[in-house]
Structure 1
């Protein structure tokens, strides 16, 4: 261990989708001459792209890894206590100067362990607060808000919000004083080439078809039922449409049954989990998001990088995205499917008159802003 370096420990319970992308991009963006990094995680929750990344890091010995099998998504007093004790051992072993926890479950146990070990710099990235999710009851939301208040006020140096609306939600519910929250939008590096031909071959589509896609988990948060409903209605008007969903999840079988019941199987492509999803997006013509809530979606950033029109709901996270990407068409989640389809048709008609728009916050900006806080010397807790 090199004690002249900044010793950073990142703690996460899940390593799939956007959360995986954030963790790997942040670690890959750090200057190896200045940082020594440890990652605490549960390998059972990593997607294939994360597992490949971990293997690369193991081969090159670039980071120290702590794999905690009791670090599970569900609340479990036995497993959570074991995880807490293991985290204390990890901190003793690595001796970090900074602990950065990711998402709500790791946010609680990780911050508690770091505070117990008197770590001076403890950072938290919620990736969309749990209390913003419409799937939880009002009682659960009040509990989540109380937990966030306690841990922000007594266990956190700064919270990194990935969107302004996420920060505003924290302030609305009086989670902590305003100067404890820092907005750092996600950013992604550019692709080295265009992958449209490759993507069309993989999806088995042609230039004569209009490809409307989404990259997300089949979960209640991502609202795939609405995506299928839009597909059913839009295909009544435009036969050349193809709808593509990249991803898997607990609702996938249900969505496949809905597609079959609507007799649109020939126009709906389920690609499942793909390591090349960001490249396949070059084969889309429109990006259609249907999420009930978001942090600051990496798939939206990838859509912007591909210069796609984005049709998406007016919810926290996506609202912020629309501020930095002009080719965004917003609808309300309570809008009728007919009205959403009208907005989709407008985005399709605008394909003949493309709006030149670039994302306004870069990957380098994200890394620079995060490391500027990592390298602060003073403590606020």
Structure 2
């Protein structure tokens, strides 16, 4: 059977988008697909480390003109350059990821007559609180036009994201399909082994609970609410420690460090920057705490389920489909510190590191969030079998 030419277009290769795209690049059958990745200049350490290995099996094309902006001039420049690349490679399938690549990639593919054009938003930009209302309105118009004129199907990573698309009248229901992010089932270290690997066993007693997360330090993840919850919990229970793994924008890092110093929390809150082994360190936690303002479908929460770690997370799009209160965690209102403290304390009282709660949390991963489930559904769409 002749291989199908498949092109991925991504503006920013970082975080959950990078995880998802790398899963596709590594998980799709190389006997079935001839794969090209077109990407912008913004990418993280993980992608940087894997580029050379990826280049042995995937055609990599760096496109500096693709930038995170809705200004007409760079958008038009990106579309023109993408059209030239598509014209040269002539893909059978184009799959675009996130808002900017989703717009320029779909427009270019449509103009060049690509038969199948797919799109994964990974959280719609028009939901982002950091953008002005004018910019969010621009994203809505861009999403509507490209969905109606240049898209075979949009893959929403959560039902909440799908409902947001319908709420903003992006397109008719049949143009969307919910496909949850999934992760491979891997062997994970024990709780104490993960703490040793993290470097905390000399600092944190083995019996002391750890509440942690792995997330960017940026607007979207709202790390200051995480810190405020930690402050309140530590005041009630000095034996509890908090861990925040992740890098971020300098002002956020500075604000977090200043907050920790001001409140004398340095002995109980431990900041780690980027860790390439972050997914293997999640078993060190007794509770996973995520304070996001908004999400699409966060991989970090799926990592927590896979490790059997119960979750306290904000009640927002994506989070509320991973976290099932009473089964694998608790939800609290966005920015609601009192509710977050109550959720964390409730889960700490369940002794989550052993017994039925651990198994119950892990079962929700097997039920809905394995990598193979995700890949099978996407391939069905590529092949027109869905």
Displacement of 1:232 in angstroms is: 0.9
Aligned counterpart for 1:56 among listed residues 53, 60, 68: 53
**Which residue of structure 1 lines up, in the alignment, with residue 151 of structure 2?**
156
CA displacement 1:253-293 (0-9 Å, x = unmatched):
21111111111011111110111110111211110000011
Contact 1:13 1:45 in 2 (8 A): yes
Displacement of 1:41: 0.6
Gap change, CA 1:57 and 1:325, over 3 Å in 2 = farther
Q: Distance in 2 between matches of 1:241 and 1:113?
A: 52
Could you give the per-residue CA deviations for residues 192-242 of structure 1, whole angstroms, max 9, x where no partner exists? 242544431223134122111111111110000100100111110111111
In 2, distance between residues paired with 1:131 and 1:14? 17
Q: CA deviation at 1:77?
A: 4.3
> Residue 8 of structure 1 contacts residue 96 of structure 1 at CA under 8 Å; is this kept in 2?
yes
- What is the deviation of 1:78? 4.3
Structure-2 residue corresponding to 1:342: 342
Alignment of 1:85-100 (within 5 A): 85-100=80-95
Count of aligned positions: 372
Give me the whole-angstrom Cα distance separating, in 2, the residues matched to 1:160 and 1:290: 25
Among 34, 37, 59, the alignment partner of 1:36 is 34
C-alpha distance in 2, partners of 1:112/1:41? 16
Query: How far apart are the structure 1 equivalents of 2:191 and 2:73?
Result: 49
Cα offsets for 1:167-216 (capped at 9, x unmatched): 01111121100000000000000122425444312231341221111111
- TM-score, normalisation: structure 1: 0.93
Question: Partners of 1:26 and 1:79 in 2: how far apart?
Answer: 28
Q: Distance in 2 between matches of 1:32 and 1:120?
A: 20
Gaps of 5+ in 2: none
Deviation by residue 1:270-320 (Cα, 9 ceiling, x = unmatched): 110111110111211110000011111100000000000100011011111
Return 231-240 or 65-74, whichever deviates more: 65-74
Which residue is equivalent to 1:208? 207
CA distance in 2, matches of 1:104, 1:162: 14
Aligned to 1:119: 114
Q: Show the counterpart of 1:322.
A: 323
Contact 1:304/1:325 (8 A) holds in 2: no
What is the 5 A alignment of 1:271-350? 271-323=272-324, 326-333=327-334, 335=336, 337-350=337-350
Quote how far apart the aligned CAs of 1:340 are. Answer: 2.0
Matches within 5 A, 1:1-381: 4-42=2-40, 44-58=41-55, 61-194=56-189, 196-201=191-196, 202-205=198-201, 206-250=205-249, 251-323=252-324, 326-333=327-334, 335=336, 337-351=337-351, 354-355=356-357, 356-357=359-360, 358=363, 359=365, 360-361=367-368, 362-376=370-384
SS of the residue corresponding to residue 219 of structure 2 reads coil
Deviation per residue, 1:115-170 (Å, 9 max, x gap): 11011111010001111223333333322222211111111110000001110111
The separation in 1 between residues aligned to 2:170 and 2:325, in whole angstroms, is: 26
Contact 2:188 2:280 in 1 (8 A): no
3-state SS, counterpart of residue 344 of structure 2: helix
Unaligned runs of 5+ residues in structure 1 are none
CA distance in 2, matches of 1:203, 1:93: 50
CA offset digits 1:7-58 (Å, max 9, x no partner): 110000111111100000112111111111000012x422111122222112
User: What is the deviation of 1:98?
Assistant: 0.3
> Would the aligned equivalents of 1:195 and 1:279 in 2 still touch at CA under 8 Å?
no
TM-score normalised according to structure 2 size: 0.92
Check conservation: 2:188, 2:307, Cα contact below 8 A: no
Instruction: Out of 226-235 and 203-212, give the one that drifted further.
Output: 203-212
Alpha-carbon deviations, 1:315-373, whole Å to 9, x = none? 011111125993120111253x2332122110000126642321122211100000000
CA–CA distance in structure 2, aligned partners of residues 301 and 214 of structure 1: 12
RMSD: 1.9
- Give, in whole Å, the separation in 2 of the partners of 1:113 and 1:273: 35
